[in-house]
Copies of this chain bind each other. A is one copy, B any other.
Amino acid sequence: MKRLPISASRIQETIRRLAYFQAWPDDVLDSLAGGAKLLTLSKNSWLAHKGETLDRLYVVISGQLRIYLPLPNDMERVVTLVGPGDSLGEACLVLNEACPYHVVASKDSHLLAIDGMVYRQELSRHPTLTSQTLELVSRRLIGALRDVEICAQPSSVQRVAGFLMLHQPTTDTPTFKFLLPARKQDIAAKLGLTQETFSRVLGFLVKQGLIQMQGGKISVEDGQKLSQITSMRETQEPCR
């Protein structure tokens, strides 16, 4: 992880380009730019460890971060995959609490790091920002709940089906394509499965004709049936 020696104007420019800051007033952006840094993280390098105090708000410009919880058996439970335009750390900064998860770059990444003190100060100064942040955190809370719901599915097929259906653009679109947002390994870890099980389930769904797959490209052929799986009592066909 190294700090890019970039001019302040470059930072301001970057900030203004990010959707995250779209609705924020100019003077706030100027303040934020003051304590901001541009970071470059190479794949697999750490951004934060669980238990550390987080003193920055991070916004991903390019690349991808993996937020996860470490498990006893050398496994990980992926909480979120943070992509371009996404941010991380609001809740911790607001509460001034220790970081509850690990964060590492899952790809070479560029990010904006905004000083926590400045961030909190601006937050307290501008009610609009506070309510926007409230909305953001609320969205994240509800999102977390959706993830819990998927991971709580009793069978692996149901979890994967639930995951796939998250990507349908509009409800009642029976067929659609998308690219897996990360390595299958990481997605499996987000679903609470091993990569092996995830692979097998995808293979099973292909065999059933419910999806097609080539590399990371998924084509859902029958979203209808896939949704039903989620609420079915028996999922695993006799396997032959």
**Chain A positions near chain B (C-beta within 8 angstroms):** 69, 71-73, 75, 77, 79, 90-92, 94-95, 97, 100-101, 123-124, 127, 130-131, 133-135, 137-142, 144-149, 151-154, 158, 192, 230-233
Query: Min CB distance, A102 to chain B, in Å?
Result: 11
Report whether A91 and B142 are in contact in the complex, using a CB–CB cutoff of 8 Å.
yes
What are 18 A-B contacts with C-beta separation under 8 Å? A69-B152, A71-B152, A73-B233, A77-B149, A90-B138, A94-B138, A97-B142, A100-B142, A100-B146, A130-B131, A130-B134, A133-B134, A137-B138, A140-B141, A147-B148, A148-B151, A151-B151, A151-B152
Report whether B72 and A138 are in contact in the complex, using a CB–CB cutoff of 8 Å.
no
Report whether B148 and A69 are in contact in the complex, using a CB–CB cutoff of 8 Å.
yes
A158 and B146 CA atoms in complex are apart in Å by 24
Report whether B92 and A154 are in contact in the complex, using a CB–CB cutoff of 8 Å.
no
**Given contact pairs A72-B154, A79-B145, A154-B71, A95 touches B139 in the complex (Cβ within 8 A):** yes
Complex interface: chain B residues within 8 A of A233 (CB): 72-73
Report whether A72 and B158 are in contact in the complex, using a CB–CB cutoff of 8 Å.
yes
Selected from B95, B135, B151, B232, the residue in CB contact (under 8 A) with A138 is B95
